[in-house]
């Protein structure tokens, strides 16, 4: 399948099946802004849950936080965002379109899409800095003193709470604080569907370490974050870890590596792991006059921890899982579209179907569906259309398992479990169904990747 076709197919499947809709569509939309429909919102929730499980719940050394989107504006002055959070931009003097100066290679002239900006006869301006933060006003009067910013990253809320968390939990370095939440950037060239939008959700974790241990932990988190994507079924051949060259590094970073995925539009950043040194804590300490250091009562050592930060975007992760899972398979008689999503992140885990809409099968199927819901499985009941069509619909939604109730079930309490990936069917006693499905969810491996 041609790669640009793949992206079009993903966009169309997302709309058709209720993953992602263009925002404000009835008013003509608002450029590159999207809403998540019933399946999309489940996918996002599961990606967040999978991240949170791995980063917080399964660990003894990381705790969570939910900080405010609008913080004291000094936060962004101190962090360097007010002065430096900008992309260099160039304008086309002819068509007035604006492009990122560092991404001209990938950009297209809006009037002549076969050409790059500047190659279309239009002259480009010198690059100018463009601040990416959304400004707003707090309180009833708009004025200099009421300016505030929507956070462009969740990380700063974590730094501001470093001391609060350390004191309330009595954790000591090395330890981490994780947060998932919305961030806002006035991106000048959003695009590639939900890959780059102006409003998005981030999953960030700041891991505070003794300065002498920074390189060890940086290596650790690069490996750990890379592995997470593989464990959730992403094709390892389409993933790479790319270390930034010195000239690419952000002002606060000693080292950064990006987990990159090979998207239909080329390699792109999925997540960044940065060694932010003691830059943020030191700056906030200086600007606020508050001591943001760690004092070890045993060794009497006092230091400002270094910070290793894995920072990813939930929407970008969800898009990546969708792209990677998408497949069109030629079967004997027809073709099927299937999303081979890991069962842990698939929006629906089980489809429950009566074989036919009579003879007590719907009642029995409803009873089994309720039992599965109570056991915590995301369950979808469907009695419309032929059974083969119902399986196909769930294949397209990425539902890994379907349970069919037939005439025999009423006699022997045994159902058919149909597997999305192999399309194989197995007979399973109702009494063993939840254990069977639970093992199938956790033991899942993508068949063509093992
Ligand atoms: P880029 O170079 O793509 O602009 P960045 O290096 O500025 O990204 P970070 O500041 O490191 O991104 O943000 C961490 C993560 O947040 C990114 O890896 C990405 O997954 C996500 N992210 C950043 N900007 C956006 C956006 N505009 N839309 C969606 N996700 C984003």
Beta bridge partners of 44: none
Alpha-carbon separation of residue 227 from 45, 92, 139, 269 (angstroms) = 20, 42, 46, 16
Q: How far apart are CA 90 and CA 381, in angstroms?
A: 53
Centre of ligand 1 to C-alpha 313, Å, is 6
Burial of 313 (0-12, 13-18, 19+ CB in 10 A): buried
In a domain, 273, yes or no: yes
Encoding tokens for residue 147? 């300016």
Is 317 found in the same domain as 209? Answer: yes
Task: List per-residue pLDDT tens for the chain, 450 residues long.
Answer: 667 699 999 999 999 999 999 999 999 999 889 999 999 999 999 999 999 999 999 999 999 999 999 999 999 999 989 887 777 888 888 888 888 888 888 888 888 888 888 888 888 888 888 788 999 999 888 877 889 999 999 999 999 999 999 999 999 999 999 999 999 999 877 789 999 999 999 999 999 999 999 999 999 999 999 999 999 999 999 999 999 999 889 888 999 999 999 999 999 999 999 999 999 999 999 999 999 999 988 889 999 999 999 999 999 999 999 999 999 999 988 899 999 999 999 999 999 999 999 999 999 999 999 999 999 999 999 999 999 999 999 999 999 999 999 999 999 999 999 999 999 999 999 999 999 999 999 999 988 775
Q: Is 243:254 a contact under the CB 8 Å cutoff?
A: no
Is 289 found in the same domain as 384? Answer: no
Centre of ligand 1 to C-alpha 54, Å, is 21
Alpha-carbon separation of residue 67 from 37, 286, 392 (angstroms) = 26, 21, 42
Give the position of tokens 């609060």. Answer: 164
Q: How far apart are CA 155 and CA 316, in angstroms?
A: 18
Out of 87, 196, 226, mutate this one to test ligand 1's pocket (max ligand atoms within 8 Å of CB): namely: 196
Among the atoms of ligand 1, which is closest to the Cα of residue 198? 27
Is 352 found in the same domain as 316? Answer: no
The CATH number of whichever domain residue 54 belongs to comes to: 3.30.930.10
In a domain, 29, yes or no: yes
Is 366 found in the same domain as 236? Answer: no
Q: Model's pTM, two decimal places?
A: 0.92
Q: How far apart are CA 340 and CA 305, in angstroms?
A: 42
Is 289 found in the same domain as 402? Answer: no
In a domain, 157, yes or no: yes
Encoding tokens for residue 140? 């009833």
| DSSP secondary structure of 136-162 | EE-SSS-SGGGEEE--S-SHHHHHHTH
In a domain, 158, yes or no: yes
Domain that holds residue 241: 3-71+153-322
Write out the E strands in 288-366.
Answer: 294-296, 301-303, 306-313, 326-330, 335-339, 350-354
Q: How far apart are CA 400 and CA 394, in angstroms?
A: 8
DSSP 340: -
Give the position of tokens 């003193």. Answer: 145
Q: Give me the pLDDT at residue 89, please.
A: 83
In a domain, 130, yes or no: no
Q: Is 24:33 a contact under the CB 8 Å cutoff?
A: yes
Q: Is 232:50 a contact under the CB 8 Å cutoff?
A: yes
Give the position of tokens 């006003």. Answer: 137
Is 234 found in the same domain as 278? Answer: yes
Is 318 found in the same domain as 359? Answer: no
Residues 6+ apart with CB under 8 A from 15: 21, 22
Encoding tokens for residue 271? 């997540």
Is 197 found in the same domain as 59? Answer: yes
**Element spanning 285, H or E:** helix 279-288
Beta bridge partners of 82: none
Among the atoms of ligand 1, which is closest to the Cα of residue 258? 18
In a domain, 189, yes or no: yes
Is 281 found in the same domain as 182? Answer: yes
In a domain, 80, yes or no: no
| DSSP secondary structure of 156-211 | HHHHHTHHHHHHHH---SSEEEEEEEEEE---SS-BTGGGB-SEEEEEEEEEEE-G
Closest to 449 in 3D by CA, of 426, 419, 421: 421
Residues 6+ apart with CB under 8 A from 314: 44, 47, 48, 51, 180, 200, 201, 202, 203
**Element spanning 434, H or E:** helix 433-442
Q: How far apart are CA 272 and CA 310, in angstroms?
A: 6
* Atom 6, ligand 1: residue with shortest CA distance: 272
Is 353 found in the same domain as 297? Answer: no
Q: Give me the pLDDT at residue 1, please.
A: 67
Q: How far apart are CA 242 and CA 263, in angstroms?
A: 15
Is 279 found in the same domain as 177? Answer: yes
* Atom 19, ligand 1: residue with shortest CA distance: 313
Is 283 found in the same domain as 372? Answer: no
Centre of ligand 1 to C-alpha 184, Å, is 10
Residues 6+ apart with CB under 8 A from 85: 76, 131, 132, 133, 152
Residues with a CB atom less than 6 Å from ligand 1: 153, 185, 187, 196-197, 200, 202, 269-272, 311-313, 315-316
Centre of ligand 1 to C-alpha 312, Å, is 7
Among the atoms of ligand 1, which is closest to the Cα of residue 202? 16
Q: Specify the number of domains making up the chain.
A: 2
Pairing of strands 199-209, 239-243: unpaired
What is the phi/psi pair of residue 380, to 5°?
Answer: -125, 125
Last residue of a domain, one of 283, 307, 322: 322
Last residue of a domain, one of 322, 340, 362: 322
The CATH number of whichever domain residue 368 belongs to comes to: 3.40.50.800
Closest to 68 in 3D by CA, of 199, 192, 156, 187: 156
In a domain, 51, yes or no: yes
Q: Give me the pLDDT at residue 88, please.
A: 83
Q: Give me the pLDDT at residue 110, please.
A: 84
């Amino acid at each position: 399948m041609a790669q640009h076709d793949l992206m079009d197919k993903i966009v169309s499947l997302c709309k058709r099946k209720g993953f992602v809709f263009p925002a404000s569509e009835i008013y003509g939309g608002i450029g590159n802004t999207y809403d998540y429909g019933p399946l999309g919102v489940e996918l996002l929730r599961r990606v967040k849950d999978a991240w949170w499980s791995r980063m917080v719940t399964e660990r003894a050394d990381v705790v969570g936080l939910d900080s405010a989107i609008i913080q004291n504006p000094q936060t962004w002055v101190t962090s360097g965002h007010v002065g430096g959070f900008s992309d260099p931009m160039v304008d086309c003097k002819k068509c007035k379109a604006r492009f990122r100066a560092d991404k001209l290679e990938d950009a297209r002239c809006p009037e002549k899409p076969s050409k790059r900006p500047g190659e279309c006869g239009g002259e480009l301006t010198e690059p100018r800095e463009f601040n990416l933060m959304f400004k707003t006003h707090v309180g009833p009067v708009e004025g200099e003193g009421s300016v505030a910013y929507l956070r462009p990253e969740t990380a700063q809320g974590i730094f501001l709470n470093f001391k609060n968390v350390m004191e309330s939990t009595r954790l000591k370095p090395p330890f981490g604080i994780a947060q998932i939440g919305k961030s806002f950037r006035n991106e000048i060239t959003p695009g590639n569907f939900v890959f780059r939008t102006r409003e998005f959700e981030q999953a960030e974790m700041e891991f505070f370490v003794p300065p002498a241990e920074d390189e060890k932990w940086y290596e650790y988190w690069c490996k750990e974050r890379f592995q997470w994507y593989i464990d959730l079924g992403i094709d390892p051949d389409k993933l790479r870890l790319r270390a930034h060259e010195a000239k690419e590094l952000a002002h606060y970073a000693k080292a950064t590596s990006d987990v990159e995925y090979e998207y239909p539009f080329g390699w792109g950043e999925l997540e960044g792991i940065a060694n932010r040194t003691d830059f943020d804590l030191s700056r906030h300490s200086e600007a606020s006059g508050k001591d943001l250091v760690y004092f070890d009562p045993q060794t009497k050592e006092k230091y400002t921890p270094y910070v290793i930060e894995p920072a990813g975007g939930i929407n970008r992760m969800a898009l990546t899982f969708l792209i990677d899972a998408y497949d069109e398979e030629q079967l004997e008689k027809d073709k099927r579209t299937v999303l081979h999503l890991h069962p842990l992140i698939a929006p629906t885990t089980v489809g429950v179907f009566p074989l036919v809409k009579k003879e007590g099968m719907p009642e029995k199927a409803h009873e089994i569906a309720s039992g599965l819901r109570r056991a915590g499985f995301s369950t979808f009941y469907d009695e419309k259309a032929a059974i083969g069509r119902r399986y196909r619909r769930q294949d397209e939604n990425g539902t890994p398992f379907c349970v069919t109730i037939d005439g025999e079930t009423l006699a022997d309490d045994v159902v058919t479990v149909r597997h999305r990936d192999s399309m194989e069917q197995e007979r399973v006693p109702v009494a063993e169904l939840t254990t069977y499905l639970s093992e199938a969810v956790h033991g899942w491996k993508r068949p063509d990747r093992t």
